[in-house]
Amino acid sequence: MAFRAPTQRAVAAFARKATATPVKTTATTSIRTLSSQATAAASTTSTSSSLSQSAQDAIAREASLPNPDPAEDSASAAMVRDHARYMLATYARPSPVFVRGEGSHLWDLENRKYLDFTSGIAVNGLGHCDPGVARILADQSTTLMHASNLYYNPWTGALSKLLVEKTRETGGMHDAATVFVCNSGSEANEAAIKFARKVGKLRGGDEGGKHEIVSFQGSFHGRTMGSLSATPNPKYQKPFSPMLPGFKYGTYNDVSALNELVTESTCGVIIEPIQGEGGVNVATDEFLTALAKRCREVGAVLIYDEIQCGMSRTGTFWAHSHLPAEAHPDVITTAKALGNGFPIGAAVINGTVSEAMMVGDHGTTFGGNPLACRLAHYTVSRLSDEGLQSEVLAKEKLFRAKFEELQARYPELVSEIRGKGLILGLQLTQDPTPIVQAARERGLLVITCGTNTLRFVPPLTITEEEIAQGLAVLEQAIEATR
Would you state the pLDDT for residue 36?
Answer: 36
- Asked if residue 8 has pLDDT above 60, the reply is no
Spatial strand order in the sheet of 447-449: 414-420, 423-428, 453-456, 447-449
Give the least confident one: 123-127, 129-133, 205-209, 303-307. 205-209
pLDDT tier at 208 (50, 70, 90 boundaries)? confident
Average pLDDT over residues 374-378: 98
Closest of 205, 157, 94 to residue 440, by C-alpha:
94
**Nearest Cα to 237, choosing from 261, 252, 220?**
220
| Mean pLDDT across 416-437 | 98
Q: Three-state DSSP class for 234? A: helix
b or e along 241-252 (b: 16 or more beta carbons within 10 Å of the residue's beta carbon)? eebeebbbbbeb
At 406-418, the pLDDT tens digits run 999 999 999 999 9
Contact criterion met (CB below 8 Å) for 146 and 369: yes
The values of phi and psi at residue 158, to 5°, are: -65, -40
Half-sphere exposure of residue 14, counting CA atoms within 13 Å on the CB side?
21
Distance (Å, whole) CA 407 – CA 405: 5
Q: Is 204:211 a contact under the CB 8 Å cutoff?
A: yes
User: Long-range contact list for 56-65, CB < 8 A, 24+ apart?
Assistant: 62/34, 62/35, 62/38, 63/34, 63/38, 65/32, 65/441, 65/442
Strand partners, 180: 347
Q: Residue 331's beta-bridge partner residues?
A: 303, 349
Q: Side chain identity at 245, as an amino acid letter?
A: P
What's the pLDDT tens digit per position in 11-49? Answer: 454 444 443 333 333 333 333 333 334 444 444 444 456
Compute the mean pLDDT over every residue in the chain, rounded to the nearest whole number.
90
DSSP code of residue 153: -
Domains of the chain by start residue, with CATH: 63-129+386-481 (3.90.1150.10), 132-384 (3.40.640.10)
In residues, how long is the chain? 482
pLDDT score of 40: 40
DSSP state of 415: E
% of residues, the chain, pLDDT over 70: 88
Beta-carbon contacts of residue 43 (< 8 Å; ≥ 6 apart) = none
401, burial (CB in 10 Å: exposed 0-12, middle 13-18, buried 19+)? exposed
Sign of CA dihedral 351, 352, 355, 361: negative
Q: Is the pLDDT of residue 202 over 50?
A: yes
Mean pLDDT across 447-452:
97
Judged by DSSP in three states, 251 sits in coil
Residue 58 has pLDDT above 70, yes or no: no
Per-residue pLDDT averaged across 75-86, rounded? 94
pLDDT band (50, 70, 90) for residue 61: low
Q: Are strands 453-456 and 113-116 parallel, antiparallel or unpaired?
A: unpaired
Quote the pLDDT of residue 52: 78
pLDDT in the model for residue 336: 98
